[in-house]
């Protein structure tokens, strides 16, 4: 007896059926192979195999597009139940041979598997990764150490952004300028100075786009410097006149009124400076007296320290001819007051 499968001789028709054994079988008497029997169809059934997931469109998945995941499986009879799972979970998220994601978002990123089932059993595919790409968002600047920035310290500004793929280019700008001052996720200011005060912005960029941060203000604090005094009568003033001395300084935070103090010393005197005023940047001498002449110094202070005026101001009190005339008249009147009564008494 000779056996044929799909018209081709086979050694025997006795076997443990496998998938590849499916086909049409015939037999014939050896030597009379021209006269084969009618074909008998052998249908080998089996559970799902080679279950897999494909994605359309292929390649990168960009936020906002439509993505279709398709599950396929080799099975006999064909799979009659497709079930979808995500990130290793045991709860189905969908059913059917296709899973469609309209307007896909970053929240859809994950590992997707499908399970194909027929009456002979199920099979689960390997996980298929969906990585949704999007341009930088929530770009921001942070400063370390936080809080006040004091002149002479080291300050590090760090730029961060939510992006996929991660930001590969950080660029720094200052005070709204269009020329980059630095690149990289960090901007380090060693020995920071008042000149570094300003508004800092960083741009985060990946291959999907760019986004700037909001401007971050750096306000460098420092103790008073360049303390100086101006006098309203630099060449001296007559007795009895009004004189104003004004103190100014460069400081951050600015000097409060109660942190101005005025001192005076008399030229040629060995006595130390004597406090003559406080409570504001202006010292008023309402009616100048000879005793007001001298060297004036202003002292200022803020929360970071204090400073004296770099030069002392010498105030002169000028004696005019009118002052001498008034003094002469006063002496004459005094003499007359004494002499006239005496004269009457003698007479």
Q: What is the 3-state secondary structure (H, E, C) of 178-238?
A: CCCCEECCEEEECCCCHHHCEEEEEEEEECCEEEECCCEEECEEEEEEEEEEEECCCCCEE
Q: Which of 283, 226, 286, 295 has its CA nearest to residue 254? A: 226
* pLDDT tens digits for range 156-187: 999 999 999 999 999 999 999 999 999 999 99
Q: 3-class DSSP state for residue 322? A: helix
Residues 6+ apart with CB under 8 A from 276: 262, 263, 264, 283, 296
* pLDDT tens digits for range 293-333: 888 999 999 999 999 988 778 888 886 654 433 332 222 22
Contact between 308 and 227 under an 8 Å Cβ cutoff? The reply is: yes
Contact between 115 and 189 under an 8 Å Cβ cutoff? The reply is: no
What CA–CA distance (Å, rounded) separates 137 from 207?
A: 13
DSSP 8-state code for residue 119: T
DSSP 8-state code for residue 259: G
Q: Name residue, tokens 């008497």.
A: 29
pLDDT at 79 over 70: yes
* Exposed / middle / buried, residue 22 (Cβ in 10 Å: 0-12, 13-18, 19+): middle
Per-residue pLDDT band for 345 (boundaries 50, 70, 90) equals very low
pLDDT at 346 over 60: no
What CA–CA distance (Å, rounded) separates 13 from 282?
A: 119
What CA–CA distance (Å, rounded) separates 182 from 189?
A: 11
* pLDDT tens digits for range 197-235: 999 999 999 999 999 999 999 999 999 999 999 998 776
| H or E segment and range at residue 9 | strand 8-10
Share of the chain above pLDDT 90, in %: 65
State mean pLDDT over 53-73.
95
Please state whether beta strands 46-56 and 40-42 pair in parallel, antiparallel, or not at all (unpaired): unpaired
* pLDDT tens digits for range 33-49: 777 777 777 777 889 99
Q: The dihedral of CA 335, 340, 345, 346: what is its sign?
A: positive
């Amino acid at each position: 007896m000779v056996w044929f499968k799909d018209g081709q001789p086979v050694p025997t028709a006795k076997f443990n059926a496998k998938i590849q054994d499916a086909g049409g079988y015939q037999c014939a008497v050896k030597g009379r192979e021209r006269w084969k029997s009618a074909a008998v169809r052998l249908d080998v059934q089996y559970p799902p195999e080679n279950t897999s997931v494909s994605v359309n469109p292929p390649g990168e998945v960009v936020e906002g597009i439509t993505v279709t995941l398709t599950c396929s499986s080799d099975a006999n009879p064909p799979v009659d139940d497709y079930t979808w799972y995500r990130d290793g979970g045991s709860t189905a998220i969908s059913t059917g041979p296709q899973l469609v994601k309209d307007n896909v978002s970053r929240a859809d990123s994950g590992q997707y598997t499908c399970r194909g089932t027929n009456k002979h059993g199920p099979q689960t595919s390997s996980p298929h990764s969906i990585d949704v790409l999007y341009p930088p968002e929530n770009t921001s600047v942070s400063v370390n150490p936080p809080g006040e920035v004091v002149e002479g310290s080291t300050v590090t500004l760090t730029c961060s952004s939510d992006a996929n793929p991660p930001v590969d280019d950080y660029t720094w700008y200052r005070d709204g300028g269009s020329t980059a001052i630095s690149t990289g996720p960090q901007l380090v200011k060693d020995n920071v100075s008042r000149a570094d005060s300003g508004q800092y912005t960083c741009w985060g960029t990946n291959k999907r786009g760019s986004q700037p941060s909001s401007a971050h203000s750096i306000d460098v604090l420092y103790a008073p410097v360049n303390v100086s005094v101006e006098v309203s009568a630099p060449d001296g003033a007559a007795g009895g006149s009004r004189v104003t001395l004004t103190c100014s300084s460069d400081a951050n935070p600015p000097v409060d009124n109660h942190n101005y103090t005025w001192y005076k010393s008399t030229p040629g005197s060995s006595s130390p400076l004597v406090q003559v005023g406080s409570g504001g940047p202006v010292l008023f001498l309402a009616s100048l007296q000879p005793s007001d002449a001298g060297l004036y110094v202003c002292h200022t202070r803020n929360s970071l320290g204090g400073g004296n005026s770099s030069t002392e101001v010498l105030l002169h009190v000028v004696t005019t001819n009118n002052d001498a005339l008034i003094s002469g008249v006063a002496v004459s009147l005094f003499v007359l007051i004494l002499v006239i009564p005496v004269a009457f008494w003698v007479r």
